Structure 1
Amino acid sequence: MARETVYKLIGLLDESHFLPSYHSGRENITAEKAFLLSLWYLSNQETFREISDRFNVTYSSVHRCLTRTLKFLLSKKKEIIRWPAIETTNIITNAFRSKQGMVNVIGAIDGSHVEINKPSHNQDSYINRKGYHSLLIQGIVDHSKRFIDVFCGEPGSMHDARLLRKSAIFKKISQNPDYIGQYFLLGDSA
């Protein structure tokens, strides 16, 4: 993630109602620290204890910051991850044509596995073809590798083609072919 993007999100988090304002007692953790420790947690494999030491906050503060930051990000998802407007489609398709030589591509689609701890229920349905427990994520990106659609949360044993059929984007395109129009998605054979 670009530094500029990080600090734009920190500014939005600071202006939001997701972090409490300072009233009395111990000073609150800044939006910057809350966001950066959350970003650190999401991009590394450290425990809450290690992160609390790294950022000089309590164990419970790490949990609170992470929870509040994730709720904030989820509240912004429709502003950040959105299907391109009609005015933008020409820019995207022209960029795909100049970079890859393919005409009318609106996005690239693929699925990936996110490793998880063994769940307490239905363990077998979360074991993927590589033998570990996971959740599936399907993403569609534009020419700049910005997400324009994301679908996630299905068990790792599910096939990519079934994941696509369960996604909201598949339903939108199936119900209204004009939703994608003359454009198409670039992806593997699943």
Structure 2
Amino acid sequence: MEPAQLTAAVVSIVNTLRIILEYMQNRPKRRQHEDDFDEDVDTDVPESTGCGNWEIVVAVGLVDTVERQFWARQTSTDWWDRIVLQVWDDAQWLQNFRMLRPLSWNTVSYFPLPKMRADLTVEKRVAIALWKLATPDCYRSVRNQFGVGKSTVGAAVIQVASAIIGVLLLRVVTLGNVQVIVDGFAAMGFLNCGGVIDGTHIPILAPDHLPNQYVNHKGYFSMVLQALVDHKGRFTNINVGWLGKVHDTCIFRNSGPFEQLQEGTYFPDQKITIVDVDMPIVILGDPAYPWLLWLMKPYTGSLDSSKEQFNYRLSKCRMVVECAFGCLKAHWRCLLTRSDLSTTNIPIVISACCVLRNICESKGKMFMAGWEVEANRWHLILSTQTPG
């Protein structure tokens, strides 16, 4: 290159850089557009962090300057409209939504949900919520599946879950016929038993506030679901939302049934006499719970044959609550993975899952072979992960 040409090239580069610097220094501060648009709308314009490539190209005149604009992401509802609604049979509905289609609508479609855009029917909102509860999918995946925005998915999940709790919780998660429960446990070998209590940890993402208080004894972030179940594993009382670090005994002492059980008003006044002792209707727990007149737990230490027999029968009944938690998480797989909901909304979703599990249990044939195997695989993955 001739000296004159080289000099001209250098001058051109310097002038170009000057233009870029002047542009970056004098341009107005860019608004954070994420807060100005609904999440249903996405941008295809590259975002700038300092000297972004898009702005440099425009500044030096290598492309025509055009008015900046945002494009809505192209979505499709064909899968929902043409496949799910028109093609799927009962088996496909049950496998994917964890409920049969008629049961789904009869259960929740009549709820007074808040109004949203006209093309988003109540049925579709319910289906979006059930899909999110029934799968370990993230919001983005559910959004793509149904052809809606991520914020729409989030709104549908909380609206439907809140409606389930408001309308059905006190009707479905209830003690019911105590004598039937007592007879059921008696058939399993334990007399005058009204339920089994235990807690389970629901994994969550690390919260912003007091994260250390959510780390449980297994080393991951969680919220606790404590439940009392009957002889069939049906939830009769739930206590949701405690931080993962809190001990089961503390949760139990602060739960609704504890005071009623202490006062003798939770169950009917129905006693049986065993070795000159009048025993009221009791509940069963694991060694973490205290010995109380109305709460039985296993003997520890050196055991004679009678204590071993007692522990065997108690353990046989306690398996009901362990199975109930396993089926709950296998049925509603959102409880298997670290929830991406806020700590305010996680208890709402957990409670709704308990309600739906009771409904499905009452209908029968709502739990498919292989679901528990899948759930156990997720538990294994979780156990190898570290907090956060």
Fold shared per TM-score above 0.5: yes
Alignment of 1:79-98 (within 5 A): 79-84=171-176, 88-98=177-187
> 3-state DSSP class of the match of 1:135?
strand
Who is 2:121 aligned against? 29
Q: Distance in 1 between matches of 2:109 and 2:130?
A: 15
Q: Distance in 1 between matches of 2:199 and 2:281?
A: 20
Aligned amino acid, residue 189 of structure 1: P
Task: Kindly name which structure, 1 or 2, has the bigger radius of gyration based on alpha carbons.
Answer: 2
> 3-state DSSP class of the match of 1:94?
helix
Who is 1:167 aligned against? 255
Contact 2:257–2:266 (CA<8 Å) still a contact in 1?
no
Contact 1:138–1:150 (CA<8 Å) still a contact in 2?
yes
Who is 1:187 aligned against? 285
CA deviations over 1:78-103 (Å, ceiling 9, x no partner) = 1111122xxx11111111122x2111
Ranges in structure 1 where 5+ consecutive residues have no aligned partner: none
> 3-state DSSP class of the match of 2:178?
helix
Who is 1:145 aligned against? 233
1:11 counterpart (92, 95, 106): 106
Ranges in structure 2 where 5+ consecutive residues have no aligned partner: 1-93, 270-279, 289-388
CA deviations over 1:16-44 (Å, ceiling 9, x no partner) = 211538xxx7422342x322322222233
* TM-score normalised by the chain length of structure 1: 0.84
Who is 2:202 aligned against? 114
Q: Distance in 2 between matches of 1:138 and 1:95?
A: 22
Q: Distance in 1 between matches of 2:121 and 2:172?
A: 25
Q: Distance in 1 between matches of 2:139 and 2:223?
A: 22
Q: Distance in 1 between matches of 2:139 and 2:221?
A: 22
Who is 2:212 aligned against? 124
- Which 4+ stretches in 1 moved above 4 angstroms? none
Q: Which has the higher strand share?
A: 1
Q: How many residues align?
A: 180
Distance 1:9 1:171, change over 3 A: farther
Q: Distance in 2 between matches of 1:147 and 1:7?
A: 23
Question: C-alpha displacement at 1:57, in angstroms?
Answer: 2.6
Distance 1:36 1:104, change over 3 A: farther
Contact 1:113–1:134 (CA<8 Å) still a contact in 2?
yes
2:130 counterpart (32, 39, 47): 39
Q: Distance in 2 between matches of 1:7 and 1:127?
A: 40
Who is 2:264 aligned against? 177
CA deviations over 1:124-165 (Å, ceiling 9, x no partner) = 111111111111110111122111000011111111111111
Who is 1:158 aligned against? 246
Question: C-alpha displacement at 1:113, in angstroms?
Answer: 0.6
> 3-state DSSP class of the match of 1:70?
helix
2:192 counterpart (104, 110, 113): 104
Q: Distance in 1 between matches of 2:125 and 2:234?
A: 24
Q: Distance in 2 between matches of 1:7 and 1:162?
A: 41
Who is 2:158 aligned against? 67
